[in-house]
Structure 1
Amino acid sequence: MVELRTKVKIVSRKLIKPAAPTPPHLKSYKTSSIDQLAPPAYVPFILYYDANGDKNEVDERSKHLEKSLSEILTLYYPLAGRYIKDKQLVDCNDEGAEYLEAQVSGKLAQVLQGELKPELLNSLVPNVMPSETTPLAFVQVNMFECGGLAIALECAHFIIDGITATTFFNAWAKACKAEGVNEVIHPSFDLASFFPPRENIMPMVPPKKPGPRANPIITKRFLFNKAAISSLKATAKGGAGDSESLSKRQPSRVIVVTALIWKALIAVNKARHGHLRASTICHSLNLRGKTALSIPDNSFGNFYMVANARFGGDNESKFELPDLVNALEDSIKNGLDDCMKPQNGDELVSVLTKSLSEVGKERERGETDIYMFSSWCRFPFYEADFGWGKPAWMSIVAIPMEIIGMFDTKDGDGIEAWVSLHEQAMLLFQNYPEIKAFTSQI
């Protein structure tokens, strides 16, 4: 077991300001009504880089990282500002992003190859305590004894979504490698013009964190390799004699993995309660290029929807993988179809708030099990090259709420599912026969 918790020492902490002052006419960045819907949370991820050359080059790499971060913040200037909640805007005051350096005892290979508990990775990301003066972006550069690096980025979700965070990280990498921002695509800051802030809009409410006496949340990683996913796709299409299923397009990797996890969760709750229960899967979908509005693909901010797939809990025959795949595909198709209809931003925001409101009411009634799924598959994490090669691995950290995150394996064919469940549910989940059959638990 890799022990990291007591072996990560913060050795420096500073604010990195943009290399050039933000012009006066850009000092106030208005957030959008979709930003208002996002959870009031900071979301981290970590990219791991093998040692490349002399260990003494780590100091030189750190200088390059700081310099290029300062340069890229001139393009992504809201991330160097501070959020003023009452005014629904970011004061782009160039106070800076927080930049931490940490020394890690041990070698990166221990993390990449060893058995580890996801919560041990939490010490590799900044510990953010939100307040009015809290930076909107944090970076922690973790330096291993071998010269390997783990670079963590943690950003305010109420300002940007996962696509923007990944684009920012990759732009920073490109600026570091190219020694300048000339090759970097500039972000577009127009979302608030399509979706102005609204009064009395309620953000998405994440699942409650357990109290001190509650059943603790456990996070585990489950790896679905290419062969397992191919087998799941074949199962999802139904038997060879089913002409309707044969004519259907093969479901995606994300859909079949989500459906299997959902099937296992339905079984877990049946075992815990003694009967089938209704459940809802909430899946986040990037909306760039998927609406009738002329919104640039490089838009900075939150631009996603939550599609809700439902299992009624009253008919065991609909509990099979093909049925759950169909429910997921229908929910995503219907959600995206609904987002193509609006001809203006106000109508689109109404569609998004309706979807979130429905789940909020279900959660209040307490009769439906609700699971949040977030897929980061096809996000170009493994392209982020700072000049010393592409990442060896990408990860998140343990999350103290019931949620499922999905990420590409490095080869792009498999999926790593990070599943966070209450301890009792996790014991049942990890021993569910199909989870054991189709995954390797890490």
Structure 2
Amino acid sequence: MEVQIISRKLITPSSPTPPHLQNLKISSLDQLAPYVYVPAIFYYAANGEEYDVKNAEKSLQMQNSLSEILALYYPFAGRCAKDDPFIECNDKGAEFFEAQVNGSLSQLFGDRELETNLKSHLAPHYFDPSNSSPLAVQFNMFECGGIAIGISLTHKIADAFTVFTFINAWTTASRFGVDQVPCPSFELASIFPPRAASRVENIVTIKAVTNNIVTKMFVFDGVAISKLKEATNFSASGSHQSLNYQVTRVKVVIALIWRCLMRLSQARHGCMRPSLMKVPVNLRGKIPQPIPENSCGNLISWAVAQFKPGDESEVKLHELVSRINSGIENAFSNYSKATGDDDLFFLVMDGFRKVSKALIENEVDVYMFGCWCRFPMYEADFGWGKPTLVCGGNSQVPR
């Protein structure tokens, strides 16, 4: 199954960005974020017979509504100033690709390995963040009439909350008009001012080593997750422990995968190694600083759980769930005590530094998880129905 790009254009805002907004400072937390494009792919089944015409109309509708929403989300039509803490909101535009896929959605969904391998071709690829649009969209048309919409947005100015807030705003504009969209806020830099380059450490250097990346998909249905939660509670009761927190689906699935990875590491190295599990946490509503509603940018940090050799008896599901829960609670507790932007910045930077040290020294296994649960992914209705499947693509790192 091949994906062929058939058109490429820049979509500019429907109205020019005012001069006083054309140089947007990014926050100190944005400065810590990597230049990584993180894609999301939305799949829509065919819903009409004349799908060639319908899909052309859908593409045009998306382009028009994107132009309108970019007037509100104007930084996404600008360019990142690579060595300076600001976005040039110059209205150069977001990239919009159209692509033809020689296959059907049923073929794709029937072959998990094919779907996994094809994901990297259903969203745009970028390599130079200083010359590329922060936002790129790829409208993929399948022979069956189904479509897949790949949306890539740079992590440098957007966390997951920002990404899905933008997509929700775009779909609202597509269906009802941009007048029905709440105005976003790009004021985080006024609360967390950018730092001088000398004060922002180059904490993590990410290199694209594509030949060492393997992507797999594992599906846990509702019944399987319920059984995992039951097993966790049963294991805890068998150890004469009572869990004073809720065992959520996210925590129990992460714990299971973490446990499997630790066992794989043990088989590879011949001994149990220390490991870190890190998961992003949204700081909105968790810190004392008042944050404007619909604040766009990076306002996340990491919750960390640890495992050390000698704890082999605790490599049980309920023990790992407990560690994950404690890591998240400790993170929120620490950030809730941050009295100002300095405190918050150094707390976040310290978390990055510790993980970076573990990665560089290679004496600790580091497992990084992400979670898109509770985001309104399946509400992304541009006017032709909600998606049948939403998934992340392969994160793209500039070369």
Taking structure 1 as the reference length, what is the TM-score of the superposition? 0.85
Alignment map for 1:180-219 (pairs within 5 Å): 180-199=177-196, 200=198, 201-202=200-201, 205=204, 208-210=207-209, 216-219=212-215
Matched residue, 1:70? 67
User: Are 1:290 and 2:286 counterparts?
Assistant: yes
User: Are 1:133 and 2:131 counterparts?
Assistant: yes
1:83 Cα deviation after fit: 1.1
Matched residue, 1:226? 222
Matched residue, 1:171? 169
1:297 Cα deviation after fit: 4.0
User: Are 1:88 and 2:81 counterparts?
Assistant: no
Per the alignment, do residues 256 and 211 of structure 1 end up closer, same or farther by CA in structure 2, a change over 3 Å counting?
closer
**Greater strand proportion:** 1
Per the alignment, do residues 154 and 371 of structure 1 end up closer, same or farther by CA in structure 2, a change over 3 Å counting?
same
Q: What amino acid is the match of 1:171?
A: A
Q: How many Å separate the matches in 2 of 1:202 and 1:263? A: 32
Q: What amino acid is the match of 1:205?
A: V
Matched residue, 1:101? 98
User: Are 1:363 and 2:362 counterparts?
Assistant: no
Asked whether the equivalents of residues 30 and 298 of structure 2 are also in contact (C-alpha less than 8 Å), the reply is yes
Q: Name the SS for the 2:216 alignment partner.
A: strand
Alignment map for 1:219-258 (pairs within 5 Å): 219-237=215-233, 238-240=235-237, 244-245=241-242, 248-258=244-254
Asked whether the equivalents of residues 217 and 400 of structure 1 are also in contact (C-alpha less than 8 Å), the reply is no
Once the two structures are superposed, residues 336-358 of structure 1 have per-residue CA deviations (whole angstroms, 9 ceiling, x without a partner) of 10010012122111111111111
Q: How many Å separate the matches in 2 of 1:244 and 1:323? A: 10
Number of equivalenced pairs? 391
Per the alignment, do residues 72 and 204 of structure 1 end up closer, same or farther by CA in structure 2, a change over 3 Å counting?
farther
User: Are 1:338 and 2:334 counterparts?
Assistant: yes
1:225 Cα deviation after fit: 1.2
Q: What amino acid is the match of 2:12?
A: K
Q: How many Å separate the matches in 2 of 1:219 and 1:340? A: 36
Once the two structures are superposed, residues 284-324 of structure 1 have per-residue CA deviations (whole angstroms, 9 ceiling, x without a partner) of 11111111111134111111011111000222101111111
Q: How many Å separate the matches in 2 of 1:188 and 1:233? A: 39
> Paired residue for 2:149, among 137, 148, 151?
151
Matched residue, 1:422? none
Matched residue, 1:430? none
Q: Name the SS for the 1:350 alignment partner.
A: helix
User: Are 1:16 and 2:15 counterparts?
Assistant: no
1:364 Cα deviation after fit: 2.4
Matched residue, 1:279? 275
> Paired residue for 1:387, among 383, 391, 397?
383
Tell me which moved more, 125-134 or 70-79: 125-134
User: Are 1:378 and 2:374 counterparts?
Assistant: yes
Once the two structures are superposed, residues 27-68 of structure 1 have per-residue CA deviations (whole angstroms, 9 ceiling, x without a partner) of 111101101111221111110111122312111111111100
Taking structure 2 as the reference length, what is the TM-score of the superposition? 0.94
Compute the RMSD of aligned alpha carbons. Answer: 1.8
Once the two structures are superposed, residues 230-251 of structure 1 have per-residue CA deviations (whole angstroms, 9 ceiling, x without a partner) of 1211222235456641x52321
Q: Name the SS for the 2:179 alignment partner.
A: coil
Q: How many Å separate the matches in 1 of 2:370 and 2:56? A: 36
Per the alignment, do residues 228 and 249 of structure 1 end up closer, same or farther by CA in structure 2, a change over 3 Å counting?
same
Tell me which moved more, 164-173 or 65-74: 164-173
**Structure possessing the higher relative contact order (Cα contacts under 8 Å, 6 or more residues apart):** 2
Matched residue, 1:38? 33
Q: How many Å separate the matches in 1 of 2:37 and 2:61? A: 25
Q: What amino acid is the match of 1:147?
A: G
Q: How many Å separate the matches in 1 of 2:219 and 2:270? A: 29
Matched residue, 1:404? none
1:122 Cα deviation after fit: 1.1
1:389 Cα deviation after fit: 0.3
1:206 Cα deviation after fit: 6.5
Q: Name the SS for the 2:121 alignment partner.
A: helix
Once the two structures are superposed, residues 67-117 of structure 1 have per-residue CA deviations (whole angstroms, 9 ceiling, x without a partner) of 000000001000000111232101111000000001111212222333333
